[in-house]
Amino acid sequence: MRKKASAWLALALGVGMALSGCSSNSSSSDDAKQGSQKAGEKLEIFSWWTGAGEEDGLKALIKLFQEKHPDIEVENAAVAGGAGTNAKAVLASRMQGDDPPSTFQVHGGAELNEGWVAAGKMEPLNDLYEQEGWMDKFPEALIDMVSKDGNIYSVPVNIHRGNVLWYNKKVFADNGLQPPKTFDEFFEVADQLKAKGVTPLALGDKEPWTATHLFETVLLGTLGTDNYQKLWNGELSFDAPQVKQAVETFKKMLGYINEDHSSRNWQDAAQLVAEGKAAMYVMGDWAKGYFVNDLKLKVNEDFGYVPTPNTDGKFMVITDTFGLPKGVKNPDDVKKFLALLGSVEGQDAFNPLKGSIPARIDADPSKYDEYGKQTMEDFKNAELAPSLAHGSAAAEGFVTKVNQAINIFVTQKDVNSLIDTLVSAAAELKK
Ligand code: GAL
């Protein structure tokens, strides 16, 4: 797995270096900075985890931190909006204004490395990794995702799987249906559901990233892992016939969604499946956190899950990580928080509530439900692919353009126009 995982990262992110030789970055100037830490500075934790399905894990982590460090005041500075829809803009303006939060949520991969690290805004954390003995506690693939030029810049708290198709068990059973494994099966099932008056597929693209999320799973299922990865290093062009085929399939899927998709967010769309008003939903496994913790549904009783069509054995990786921005006044406190976030205890407090699996390889599986246990196994054996919608595959500027283009596509369904936009956005990406 490690070899496979490193290979895709080398391809997708251009970081394949061996990290074992990294030296500690603790220096006298770092120590001096830390020594000058102001007493009473708040630990401001910036994320987009607010409200239903999002905040339970973070709250558990903060509670644990406060038990261990009652002297440090914590401010939960979360900004609502799925996938960082609003938080990322707030963060950008704060970073530009040299007013960074103490630590912030950032996806491993391009969002971190080509964004904040390339802009010189992050402190390396190699010393923390060595101090905490983490070098062999996270999968090499994940350490690569949070590293650039031999330095490590953030700590992964989790691994989310993006390519999951959730389905309402009762709706499927009542209609004598099996969850689809291929696109052909998906359309067969969808036609049968439609004939019965059930919305086959839920979508809530009030925030456009959800449609990009669906689209990237179709890309992965159509292209396969190798070709999907080639999109991100320019080896495969977005006007390749396979991409066109994926766009056509995506278009066809959009023929089966709920009419009010553009007024729903990801939780509202999940609710359609929870209530049996829609049968299927493609969403990352934060949806499981929402189903179980907020809607009190039972895994494998009320809802089931399978990989999205044609992606069995493939794992769309999303990892939420936190780092240490340059110029914060309380780096010691931030490192204490990061140390907890990267610990087994921290990860096992956060992930069972969030729906994700732990980023660490030595977490306690008994703390996770059936879905979590199976996902941990799947991650070990799967071909890994970086998510576009969630920041790993390409830089933020590209993701923004794709979100806009996909959003237009959902209503206009103009295949050539979407392909043209993808091609021109990708050309700019390479400059
Ligand atoms: C992703 C993030 C997840 C989850 C989701 C919905 O980008 O990685 O942790 O919060 O957005 O907001």
Cβ 83 under 6 angstroms from ligand 1: yes
Cβ 372 under 6 angstroms from ligand 1: no
CB 238 within 8 A of CB 231: yes
Cβ 390 under 6 angstroms from ligand 1: yes
Q: What CATH number is given for 164-316+387-426 in this structure?
A: 3.40.190.10
Q: Strands 320-323 and 154-156, how do they pair?
A: antiparallel
At residue 40 the predicted structure's pLDDT band, cuts being 50, 70 and 90, is: low
Give dist(CA 421, CA 232) in Å, integer. Answer: 15
99 burial via Cβ count (<10 Å: 0-12, 13-18, 19+): exposed
**Which atom of ligand 1 lies nearest, measured to the CA of 49?**
10
CB 267 within 8 A of CB 250: no
Distance 201 CA to ligand 1 centre (A): 20
CA distances from 172 to 27, 99, 159, 166, 291 (A): 60, 51, 29, 11, 17
pLDDT higher than threshold 70 for residue 419 = yes
pLDDT tens digits along 200-225 = 999 999 999 999 999 999 999 999 99
Within the chain, all domains assigned CATH 3.40.190.10 are found at 42-158+318-381, 164-316+387-426
Distance 416 CA to ligand 1 centre (A): 30
The CB density around residue 191, as the number of other CB atoms within 10 Å, is: 12
Give dist(CA 3, CA 387) in Å, integer. Answer: 19
Per-residue model confidence (pLDDT) at position 409: 98
Give Rg (Cα) of the chain: 21
pLDDT higher than threshold 80 for residue 28 = no
At residue 30 the predicted structure's pLDDT band, cuts being 50, 70 and 90, is: very low
Residue nearest to atom 5 of ligand 1 (CA): 83
The CB density around residue 119, as the number of other CB atoms within 10 Å, is: 11
Helix (H) or strand (E) holding 88: helix 87-96
The CB density around residue 45, as the number of other CB atoms within 10 Å, is: 24
Cβ 320 under 6 angstroms from ligand 1: yes
Among 3.40.50.720, 3.30.465.10, 3.40.190.10, 3.40.50.360, what is the CATH number of 42-158+318-381? 3.40.190.10
Q: Residues 269-296: what's their mean pLDDT?
A: 98
pLDDT higher than threshold 70 for residue 5 = no
Distance 365 CA to ligand 1 centre (A): 22
Residue to mutate (ligand 1; options 104, 160, 212, 388; most atoms within 8 A of CB) = 160
Distance 266 CA to ligand 1 centre (A): 10
pLDDT tens digits along 71-94 = 999 999 999 999 999 999 999 999
Give the tokens for residue 131: 């101090």
